[in-house]
């Protein structure tokens, strides 16, 4: 496979973890380089230009956040995808990593198979130019921008953002593989709903990994919102373990669906896909609990 020829840089001060990762990933066909210090990681990234960096946050000299910040400041390394590997589980740490444009945030102890899938999916997403989501196969990136332009030019089209809330908590409990399975199932459900409504002019894509974008005809908006909300909400129970439901593990942070419509602006109309994306992001952030 194409991603098997990729070069990986592991910045990890735990020798046992680093050697285990190196042996496993080399067996998967990757070329792997290991360093144990943050400063060495910066130099290695400049010299080898890896396809992906697996970066521990707690390092002996400078922490992984600082390594990532410096990588993002250098034109030569700013676009290298980063997977943070850490024992930290606080939400503030995850947000800090995302602010540095990290591709993923994996907490220890981790399942090696899950990490392998994270590496594979990240490399595929980068090499495909973010045209399709590696988990659901739905359009994202430039393909979504093309359809946003179509929506801007079509006064008979409605634009919705279908957001999955509290997915972080679900992922912390069940892991990345389960959360990927959930997103894949939800994407298929939305596609099935489109086919059932027999509307060939529907469009479904990703605005973010947990936010689906749907373009539909204005006359279908009410039916779509009602059916999509009901169908997705009803499916969530199938992804929880019975004992977790009985313990109330998802009573306060259970999975939820939020569907919001982006309305055309009368005073300051949206004129480009970039403006539409910005408006959608504001719509999403305004609806987060």
Tens of pLDDT, residue by residue over 225-264, are: 999 999 999 999 899 999 998 888 888 889 999 999 987 6
Integer Cα distance of 95 and 168 in angstroms = 11
- Taking only the tens place, the pLDDT of each residue in 35-81 is 999 999 999 999 989 999 999 988 999 989 999 999 988 878 888 99
Domains and CATH numbers, the chain: 2-127 (3.40.50.2300), 142-287 (3.30.70.270)
pLDDT band at 188 (very low <50, low <70, confident <90, very high): very high
Integer Cα distance of 103 and 71 in angstroms = 14
Q: Do residues 259 and 229 touch, judged by C-beta distance below 8 A?
A: yes
Residue 179: CA count within 13 A, CB half-sphere: 19
pLDDT band at 89 (very low <50, low <70, confident <90, very high): low
Q: Do residues 49 and 37 touch, judged by C-beta distance below 8 A?
A: no
Integer Cα distance of 48 and 44 in angstroms = 6
Question: In percent, how much of the chain has pLDDT > 90?
Answer: 38
Retrieve residue 10's tokens. 């592991």
pLDDT of residue 1: 43
The CB density around residue 246, as the number of other CB atoms within 10 Å, is 9
Residue 223 has pLDDT above 50, yes or no: yes
3-state secondary structure of 104: strand
Total-model pTM: 0.60
- Return mean pLDDT, the chain: 85
- Taking only the tens place, the pLDDT of each residue in 129-139 is 667 887 888 99
Integer Cα distance of 106 and 89 in angstroms = 9
Retrieve residue 57's tokens. 């946050």
Residue 2 has pLDDT above 60, yes or no: no
Question: Which letter does DSSP use for residue 263 in this model?
Answer: P
Residue 267 has pLDDT above 60, yes or no: no
The long-range contacts involving 217-221, CB below 8 angstroms and separated by at least 24 positions, are 217/156, 217/157, 217/158, 218/156, 218/157, 218/158, 220/158, 221/158, 221/160, 221/261
pLDDT band at 110 (very low <50, low <70, confident <90, very high): confident
pLDDT band at 128 (very low <50, low <70, confident <90, very high): low
Residue 185: CA count within 13 A, CB half-sphere: 16
Q: Report the run of H or E that residue 77 belongs to, with start and end.
A: none
pLDDT of residue 222: 87
CA separation, residue 285 to residues 21, 93, 181, 258, 281 (Å): 36, 19, 25, 12, 6
């Amino acid at each position: 496979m194409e991603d098997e020829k990729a070069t990986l840089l592991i910045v990890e001060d735990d020798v046992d973890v680093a050697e285990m990762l190196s042996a496993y990933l080399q067996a998967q066909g990757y070329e792997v380089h290991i360093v144990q210090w943050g400063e060495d990681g910066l130099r290695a990234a400049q010299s080898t230009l890896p396809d992906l960096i697996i970066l521990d946050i707690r390092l002996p000299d400078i922490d992984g956040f600082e390594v990532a910040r410096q990588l993002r400041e250098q034109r030569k390394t700013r676009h290298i995808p980063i997977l943070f590997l850490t024992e930290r589980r606080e939400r503030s740490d995850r947000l800090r990593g995302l602010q540095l444009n990290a591709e993923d945030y994996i907490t220890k102890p981790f399942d090696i198979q899950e990490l392998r899938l994270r590496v594979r999916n990240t490399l595929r997403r980068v090499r495909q130019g973010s045209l399709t989501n590696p988990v659901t196969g739905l359009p994202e990136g430039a393909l979504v921008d093309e359809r946003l332009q179509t929506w801007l030019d079509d006064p008979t089209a409605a634009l919705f953002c279908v957001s999955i809330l509290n997915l972080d908590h679900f992922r912390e409990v069940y892991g990345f593989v389960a959360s990927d399975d959930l997103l894949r199932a939800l994407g298929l459900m939305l596609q099935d709903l489109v086919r059932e409504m027999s509307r060939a002019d529907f469009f479904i894509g990703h605005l973010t990994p947990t936010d689906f974008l749907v373009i539909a005809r204005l006359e279908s908006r009410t039916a779509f919102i009602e059916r999509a909300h009901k169908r997705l909400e009803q499916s969530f129970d199938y992804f929880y373990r019975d004992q977790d439901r009985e313990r109330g593990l998802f009573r306060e942070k259970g999975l939820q669906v939020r569907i919001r419509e982006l309305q055309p602006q009368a005073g300051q109309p949206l004129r480009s896909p970039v403006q539409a994306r910005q408006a959608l992001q504001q719509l999403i952030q305004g609806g987060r609990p």
